[in-house]
């Protein structure tokens, strides 16, 4: 699936939608295809559920009606929709209208989420299964090369899937082994080095892939890049093939857990090398594009060493919880 950039809105409220998108862009938000689709969902509801068909009138009644569609959704989904309708109300107020503004006290999202940290053996199995991927249904010759390369990049460097698929060839310096990620989350751009082994692997990948004037480092068909959704769906299939167990929630680990795994394995490696992990946190925080060190410090609590040193487990007890695995 390719990345889509421009959503086609119905003529009835196209002008309002495009003005709202321009407004969000002026505030520094990317507001890509998925956000535009969400905008259409809201405006379509307002258009079809108001007597005047006026999407510039935002009342408490139609806000409550719109949000009622998500009452059975997960807290994060409810939170996102509450925030979205609130932001649209603030936009209308800025334009001089008198809309209902949804309260700033949005539903709280649970903060006790624990990411899944893959073992090195599990990572090896995932890569092994990815290496057996063949051409897709369109017989796209790059497919067998792209997926293994993307997954190795996600694990070896810890970038987000969205910023990874948007990498262009000019952003990947294979001579010096450096990625340049532009305007990632929190509008953070950064340059990060890759390991010698990943550099060597991507040089080989680059010699095999056929771009046909496609500007993206991981090219899809028709000059586009891959959609994160497509990568996530394939990753789920790889979980099955690699015999990764289902979590207690009934779900499989997410592709974003490769980023979490990178962080934890990096900290464990630095500790094994005799480094103070707290001295490593600032560098890792910058590497991962975090706004502050607090976000990175969380990973220290997921390491084997934290359980030994902080919770006073013995080495033998920790080895049971975190068994050694072969790479």
Whether 67 and 185 share a structural domain:
no
Shared domain for 60 and 144, answered yes or no, is no
Confidence (pLDDT) at 111: 61
59 lies in the same domain as 156: no
- Looking at the fold, whether 87 and 180 belong to one and the same domain comes out as no
Range(s) of the domain holding residue 63: 11-94
Q: Are residues 242 and 294 in the same domain?
A: yes
**Pair 82, 184 in one domain:** no
Indicate whether 51 and 130 sit together in one domain: no
Which residues, given as ranges, of the chain have pLDDT below 70?
1-6, 109-113, 137-139, 183-188, 291-327
Number of structural domains found in the chain: 2
Question: Is 39 a member of any domain?
Answer: yes
> Nearest to residue 67, comparing CAs of 100, 97, 34?
100
| Co-location of 178 and 267 in the same domain | yes
Question: Is the pTM above the cut of 0.75?
Answer: no
Q: Do 130 and 266 belong to one domain?
A: yes
Q: Quick check: is 202 in a domain? A: yes
Same domain? 83 vs 154: no
Q: How far apart are CA 298 and CA 197, in angstroms?
A: 28
Specify the pLDDT at position 43.
95
Are 271 and 146 found together in one domain? yes
């Amino acid at each position: 699936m390719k990345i889509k950039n421009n959503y086609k809105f119905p003529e009835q409220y196209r002008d309002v939608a495009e003005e709202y998108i321009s407004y969000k862009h002026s505030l520094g938000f990317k507001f890509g295809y998925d956000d535009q689709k969400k905008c259409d969902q809201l405006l379509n509801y307002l258009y079809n559920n108001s007597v005047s068909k006026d999407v510039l009138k935002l009342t408490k009644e139609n806000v409550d009606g719109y949000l009622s569609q998500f009452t059975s959704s997960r807290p994060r989904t409810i939170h996102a929709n509450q925030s979205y309708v609130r932001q649209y109300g603030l936009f209308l107020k800025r334009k001089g209208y008198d809309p209902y503004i949804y309260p700033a006290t949005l539903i709280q999202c649970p903060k006790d989420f624990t990411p899944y940290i893959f073992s090195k053996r599990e990572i090896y199995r995932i890569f092994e299964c990815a290496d057996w991927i063949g051409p897709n249904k369109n017989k796209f010759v790059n497919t067998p090369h792209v997926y293994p390369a993307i997954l190795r990049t996600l694990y070896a460097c810890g970038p987000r899937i969205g910023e990874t698929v948007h990498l262009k060839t000019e952003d990947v310096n294979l001579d010096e082994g450096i990625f340049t990620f532009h305007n990632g989350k929190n509008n953070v751009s950064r340059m990060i080095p890759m390991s010698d082994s990943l550099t060597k692997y991507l040089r080989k990948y680059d010699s095999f892939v056929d771009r046909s004037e496609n500007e993206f480092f991981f090219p899809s068909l028709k000059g586009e890049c891959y959609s994160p959704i497509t990568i996530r769906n394939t990753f789920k299939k790889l979980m099955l093939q690699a015999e990764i167990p289902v979590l207690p929630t009934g779900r499989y680990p997410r592709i974003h857990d490769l980023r979490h795994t990178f962080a934890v394995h990096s900290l464990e490696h630095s500790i094994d090398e005799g480094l103070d992990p707290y001295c490593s946190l600032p560098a890792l925080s910058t590497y991962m594009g975090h706004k502050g060190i607090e976000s990175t410090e969380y990973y220290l609590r997921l390491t084997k060493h934290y359980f030994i040193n902080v919770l006073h487990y013995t080495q033998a007890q920790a080895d049971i919880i975190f068994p050694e695995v072969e790479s």
